[in-house]
Amino acid sequence: MSDKWRILILILLLVATIGLWWAFRPEAGPRIPAVFASSLPVNCQQVVLVLSPDERSENARLWLMERSEGQPWHPAAGPIAVTLGHQGLAWGKGEHTASPPAGFRIKHEGDKCSPAGVFRIPFAFGLAGAADATWLKIPYTPLTPTIIGVDDPKSKYYNQIVDNTKVERDWDSNEAMARHDKLYQWSAFIAHNPEGTPGLGSCIFFHLWPGPGRGTAGCTAMAEDSLREVLGWLDPNKEPRLVQGIEGW
């Protein structure tokens, strides 16, 4: 066999080996974006990580990330299919301190964007009574017909869930939380814009999606089984956070 044929065979074997490695290589694990990782509290041991393929996508993937003290993050579950706002992601107001990438949109009221950033998840809520929510570790608020979410930037209750029979009304617009479509059957409040700065966005939740691949008004939504898995995993003693961003950040 000539040297030319030996070289050709070696090249073909090398190409085939590379092809097999590429086809069966292990998928890289999820990574908390560096732009947000430094904003996580030292005692945070749980992160709901949502990564979108690009700024405008309605579809994203979610992982439940865990760490022990002094140890690196690792996935406990996922990826889980989720949907974001109809217009994708915009830079939210939360616990992150970094500035948005150049040209990245800033979240504001009514923009139909989900917030990018680091956010607390202070409580869950839903249509079930408290006795049916004992599987949750985080605080739970049963919804009634008088509980609303205030989305009027002029109100002192802006970006809050309140019982409208227990406070003096000063808003012109709100959302009834006990929705007939039952998207809030099981939900959790995401602490975007926690100070209630007028116009920066309000009433951002985890909730049931209206259907696979169908976006939201700015919340993060998923199938019921997935949502119950996420909510049941959250442990306030582990200081859980939502980290929401773009793949590759």
What pLDDT, in 10s, does the model give residues 71-106? 899 999 999 999 999 999 999 999 999 999 999 999
Do 241 and 47 meet the contact criterion of CB atoms below 8 Å apart? Answer: yes
Q: Is 17 within a domain? A: no
Domain-located, residue 14: no
Ordered strands of the 161-163 beta sheet? 161-163, 147-150, 174-176
Q: Is residue 24 part of a domain?
A: no
Work out the average pLDDT over 184-201: 98
> 45-67: per-residue pLDDT in tens?
999 999 999 999 999 999 999 99
Supply 68's token pair. 């022990």
* Residue 173 reports pLDDT greater than 90: yes
Q: Is residue 21 part of a domain?
A: no
In a domain, 214, yes or no: yes
- What pLDDT shows up at residue 13? 54
Is residue 19 scored above 90 in pLDDT? no
pLDDT of residue 180: 86
Give the Cα separation of 212 and 14 in Å (integer): 42
In a domain, 26, yes or no: no
Considering its fold, how many domains does the chain have in total?
1
Q: How confident is the model at residue 20 (pLDDT cuts 50, 70, 90)?
A: very low
**Average per-residue pLDDT in the chain?**
91
Rg (CA), the chain: 22
Tell me the per-residue pLDDT of 32-47, one tens digit each, with 9 for 90 and over. 999 999 999 999 999 9
What integer pLDDT is reported at residue 21 of this predicted model?
Answer: 39
Band of the pLDDT at 17, cuts 50, 70, 90? Answer: very low
3-state SS, residue 238: helix
pLDDT of res. 122: 98
The pLDDT of residue 26 = 43
19 inside domain:
no
> Is 3 contained in some domain?
no
Boundaries of domain holding 191: 31-246
Lowest-confidence segment of 27-41, 62-76, 171-185, 201-215 by average pLDDT: 27-41
With H, G, I as helix, E, B as strand and everything else as coil, classify residue 88: strand
